Amino acid sequence: MGIRRRIVAGNWKMNLDRAGAVALAEAVASGATSSVGCNLILCPPSIYLSPVANALKISKGESPSGVGLGGQNLHDQPKGAFTGEIAPAMLIDIGCSSCIVGHSERRTLFGENDAIVNGKAKAALAAGLTPIICVGETLEEREQNRTAAVVTEQIKGSLEGFSSADLTGSIVAYEPVWAIGTGKVATPEQAQEVHALIRQQLANLTDEETANRVVIQYGGSVKPDNAGILAAQQDIDGALVGGASLKADDFLAIAKHFADAS
Ligand code: 13P
C-alpha cells in the first residue's frame, strides 16, 4: 500500500434522468466491493444529488457502501441572493463529502478563472468538503510547449494561500482539455510528467512531505482499457472519469485497476 489513497470519481456532467441516476448509483454501490482499496465518488447533476444520496443510503455523512457523493460545482458564499447557485453547506446537508471545483468546462464555458476557483476551493474546505480542484492545458497551449507554464500558473492561482492541511484535504485533478471527451487519452508518460510537475508545485507551496500525501487524479478519456497503464504511474493516484462513469461496469473496472495498483 502506497502512501496515498487511490480515489476514482465519476463526473456525470449534465447527463442521465432521475431514474437513470438512481439505477447507476445502485449498480456502482452494489459492485463497489470489487474495487476495495480504491475510494469511489459519484458526482451527479445537482438536482439528482438527493435521490443519489438515498440510493447510496448516505446518512449523516456516512455511506454504508463506501461510495461517496460529490457536487460538480458550488458557490463561494454561504447564503444569499445568488439565484441558481448552491452553497457548500447545502452540499454537506444533502450528503456530499466532496465537490469538483474549476473543471475546464466551468473555466472555459462559465468564465471561472484561478481566483474564482481559489475562492470556491477555500469555501469547500471551510465547509468540510474535499474540493477536487481541476487544472489542465488546451491543445493549443500544449502545441506551443506551454503545458508546464500553464499548469504551474493554474496550481499557484487556484491553491493560493493553502495551508498543509488545506492541501491534504484536497484532491487535484489533471485534465488536459484536449483529452476530455475526445477519446484522445494522454500517454502515460505525458500524464506522469505533468503529475510530477504538479507534485513539485505542491511541494513549493508547502513542503515535500505534504505534497507526497496529496491525491492527484488524471482525467480525460479514461476507460477500462487504458486505466491500468495510467494507474501504474508513480504520481497518478486516481481518475476523474466522465463518459465511462455513466456505465457502472466500466466505472468499476477503472476503479479496480487503481485498486490493484495501490
Ligand atoms: P471524459 O472521461 O468523458 O473524457 O471526461 C473527463 C472529464 O472531464 C471528467 O471530469
Domain 7-261 CATH (choose: 3.20.20.70, 3.40.50.150, 3.40.50.300, 3.90.1150.10) = 3.20.20.70
**pLDDT score of 168:** 97
Give 117 Cα–ligand 1 centroid separation in angstroms.
18
Give 219 Cα–ligand 1 centroid separation in angstroms.
6
Q: Please report where in the chains the cell 457523493 appears, as a residue.
A: 69
**Which ligand 1 atom lies nearest to the CA of residue 105?**
8
Give 210 Cα–ligand 1 centroid separation in angstroms.
27
DSSP assigned state of 29: H
Band (pLDDT 50/70/90 cuts) for residue 34 is confident
CA distance 43 to 59: 17
**pLDDT score of 10:** 98
Enumerate residues 6+ apart whose C-beta is below 8 A from 157: 113, 114, 115, 117, 118
Residues 45-98 have pLDDT tens digits of 999 999 999 999 999 889 999 999 999 999 999 999 999 999 999 999 999 999
Site to substitute for ligand 1 among 222, 225, 230, 246, most atoms within 8 A of C-beta = 222
Measured by CA distance, the residue closest to atom 5 of ligand 1 is: 242
Identify the weakest region by mean pLDDT among 12-16, 57-61, 103-107, 155-159.
57-61
Give 207 Cα–ligand 1 centroid separation in angstroms.
30
Query: Are 134 and 164 contacting, i.e. CB atoms less than 8 angstroms apart?
Result: no
pTM: 0.97
Mean pLDDT over the full length of the chain: 96
Sequence spans of domains, the chain: 7-261
**pLDDT score of 35:** 78
**pLDDT score of 247:** 98
Q: Stretch 115-121: mean pLDDT, rounded?
A: 98
Site to substitute for ligand 1 among 13, 72, 251, most atoms within 8 A of C-beta = 13
Active-site pick, 137, 141, 175, 257: 175
C-alpha cell at 40: 469511489
DSSP assigned state of 262: -
Residues 145-171 have pLDDT tens digits of 999 999 999 999 999 999 999 999 999
**Which ligand 1 atom lies nearest to the CA of residue 173?**
10
**pLDDT score of 36:** 84
CA distance 212 to 38: 18
Catalytic residue list contains 75: no
Ligand 1: residues with CB < 6 A are 11, 103, 175, 180-181, 219-222, 240-244
What are the backbone dihedrals phi and psi of residue 224, each rounded to the nearest 5 degrees, phi first? Answer: -55, -35
C-alpha cell at 197: 510537475
Catalytic residue list contains 103: yes
Residues 202-241 have pLDDT tens digits of 999 999 999 999 999 999 999 999 999 999 999 999 999 9
Higher pLDDT, 34 or 134: 134
CA distance 67 to 71: 14
**pLDDT score of 214:** 98
**pLDDT score of 262:** 84
**pLDDT score of 185:** 87
pLDDT at residue 1 above 60? no
pLDDT at residue 3 above 90? no
CA distance 173 to 154: 12
Exposure letters 181-218 (e unless 16+ CB within 10 A, then b): eeeebbebeebbbbbebbbebbbebbeeebbeebbbbb
C-alpha cell at 169: 484535504
Give 81 Cα–ligand 1 centroid separation in angstroms.
31
CA distance 55 to 239: 23
Enumerate residues 6+ apart whose C-beta is below 8 A from 262: 1, 2, 5, 6, 37, 38
